[in-house]
Amino acid sequence: MASVVLVTGCSAGGIGAALCEEFAAQGCQVYATARNPAKMAGFSHSRIEKLPLDVTSDEDVKRVVEHIVGKEGKIDIVVNNAGTGAAGALLDQDMDTVRQAFDINTFAVLRVCRSVLPIMAGRKQGLFVNVGSVVGDTPVPWNGLYSATKAATHMISEVLSMECRPFNISVMNVVPGSVRSNIANNMTQKFVLPENSLYSAFIPNIMKRINASQTEHSMPAAKFAKAVVSKALSRKPPLRFTAGGNSTIFAIFRWLPRVFVFGYLWRIYSKKM
């Protein structure tokens, strides 16, 4: 029987959409979701069904989960991929932006997992795939809020990996490096320097950081998705899986003295341009 997969954050051109395509290519029944269904265009597989979902809404999450279970009788894999960027100096972020970033990037992981847990626990099987980021381990200037949300997501994944053991449910913390997507364009459109900001001289550095994940060294989303899905559908998915451009250097950063790493990263993202 085909695995049933729920993926959040599936707008065209992003990691979520690529994951949907690859899961479907491997024979899974996939439910692709996004707040705006019109942005989920171009899927090539008939095994992908599109559903509207606002991951910040308890009622919306419950509605989608009940719809899938009503049709399929189960959910085998949940991919918590929905996310939002928040570029700029950490203390330039207003509290509404802070709350929204944590609600989408972090609290939604708990919201979706909590809704699906009883279904998986009843069958004594399932997999939660939570998408973090290399900057959740090693933060970079001008992206601090995003880093904080992903650091929390990593911790949630690690705790869930223990607390889901009684129900034979696995957790896979995906930690992307640079992957080609629409994230830089989305952050550029959203970025506004506050009028009273003390960081106006660093706008070129902020823009450099926004575009850092979208270079010739970035991994194509389809290639990244193929690697992630292969691990997710394996007999024993790993607790942590990293892939993408610059993932090796960020892995090294984790083992180096933090003072050295932060000094190095600050030099890169504080130079006059």
Q: Are 129 and 109 in contact (CB under 8 A)?
A: no
Q: Catalytic annotation on 146?
A: yes
Number of neighbouring beta carbons within 10 Å of residue 19: 29
Q: Catalytic annotation on 199?
A: no
Pick from 109, 180, 190, 97: nearest CA to 150 = 109
Which class for 61: exposed (0-12), middle (13-18), buried (19 or more C-beta within 10 A)? buried
The distance in angstroms from the start CA to the end CA of the chain is: 56
User: Which helix (H) or strand (E) segment is 69 a member of?
Assistant: helix 58-72
> Which residue of the set 50, 74, 150, 269 is catalytic?
150
> Which residue of the set 50, 74, 146, 269 is catalytic?
146
Region for residue 33 given its phi and psi (left: phi exceeds 0; alpha: psi -120 to 50; beta: otherwise): beta
Pick from 229, 257, 253, 255: nearest CA to 241 = 229
Edge-to-edge strand ranges of the sheet holding 240-243: 48-52, 29-34, 4-7, 77-80, 126-131, 169-176, 240-243
Euclidean distance between CA atoms 27 and 97, whole angstroms = 39
Active-site residue numbers? 146, 150
